[in-house]
Structure 1
Amino acid sequence: MQRKGALFAVCFFAGLLGALANSLAAWLAGSWGLTTTAGVAMTPELTKTWLYPRLVWGGVWGLAYFFVVASPRHRRRWVRKGLWISLLPSAVQLYYVFPYHTPFGTLGLGLGALTPLFVLMFNGIWGFFTGLFTRMMWGRG
């Protein structure tokens, strides 16, 4: 049971690091004008108040990733599983957060027609790095 607890912590921390990569990608896309060029009004500012909640939620979603890799016989294809799990936070963002907690409507289309694509892409970055960092920190054991 002690090994599962260690993997639990590793998944949380990897999710946090994945959220850092996700946040930096979102900030860079906004700073470089990629989102504006695509007609999406997503230009976040890199501040502590914007970044900290994203890191915590990245760690929480990393715990969802834990349930996918908790069994020793399922500890393969870490990055691919991270990419699959990244669809969960994307669905929550597109179908719960945008319509019920923001004025942007379902799929965030109030921000622009390509908003769902950017949400999937940024969360895909989270999933990729969460899987990569979990694999790197967990090793072969």
Structure 2
Amino acid sequence: MVTRLSALFAAGSLGGLATVLTLWLFGVLGISGALGVGLAPPLTPPMIYSFMIWGGIWSFAFLLPLGSLNMFVRGLLLSVGPTIVQLLVVFPMKMGVGVLGLDLGTLTPLLVLIFNGVWGLVAAWWLTRQEAGVMVAA
């Protein structure tokens, strides 16, 4: 059981790292700005840490019984959870940028969905390569 939970947390943490790097890269390359979204934070150790820890915590959602869904479909489906929290809790209550983060730009919800989708796909990819991934998928 500990091995299974460790693999899940590692998968989610790796997904969190991929997400924060994608978010940062979108900012550096000007993709976010070109879409009219003011979401281009600097890459800092606290930000990396936060994304990796929360990514690891959210990965326990892979334990939910979702039938025989493909692991990548499962990852995308589960990525909706952190997206909803970001859009309805973090943006309005912690960052003060309005519900859905719309003060940052109209396409903010789409970008958040994409960034969290990266988390779900990377976590699913890692789990498919781990022995625990087979146990989670079963």
1:131: which partner in 2? 124
Q: Are 2:74 and 1:81 aligned?
A: yes
| Superposed displacement of residue 6, structure 1 | 1.9
Cα distance in structure 2, aligned partners of 1:6 and 1:23: 26
1:21: which partner in 2? 18
Query: Match for 1:86: what amino acid?
Result: S
Query: Match for 1:31: what amino acid?
Result: V
Q: TM-score, normalised by structure 1?
A: 0.88
2:9: which partner in 1? 12
Q: Please say if residues 85 and 127 of structure 1, whose CA atoms lie closer than 8 Å, have aligned partners that are also in contact.
A: yes
Residue 110 of structure 1 aligns to a residue whose secondary structure is: helix
Deviations 1:84-129 (A, max 9, x none): 0000000000011111111111000010000000000000000011
* Consecutive unaligned residues in structure 2, runs of 5 or more: none
Q: 2:34 aligns with which of 32, 37, 61?
A: 37
* Consecutive unaligned residues in structure 1, runs of 5 or more: none
Query: Across the two proteins, how many residue pairs are aligned to each other?
Result: 134
Q: Please say if residues 101 and 109 of structure 2, whose CA atoms lie closer than 8 Å, have aligned partners that are also in contact.
A: yes
Q: TM-score, normalised by structure 2?
A: 0.90
| Superposed displacement of residue 66, structure 1 | 2.6
Query: Match for 2:120: what amino acid?
Result: G
RMSD: 1.6
Deviation beyond 4 Å, 4+ runs, structure 1: none
Query: Match for 1:80: what amino acid?
Result: V
- Going from structure 1 to structure 2, the CA distance change for 1:124 and 1:21 (only over 3 Å counts) comes to same
Q: 2:103 aligns with which of 105, 110, 113?
A: 110
Q: Please say if residues 22 and 123 of structure 1, whose CA atoms lie closer than 8 Å, have aligned partners that are also in contact.
A: yes
Cα distance in structure 1, aligned partners of 2:125 and 2:103: 33
1:49: which partner in 2? 46
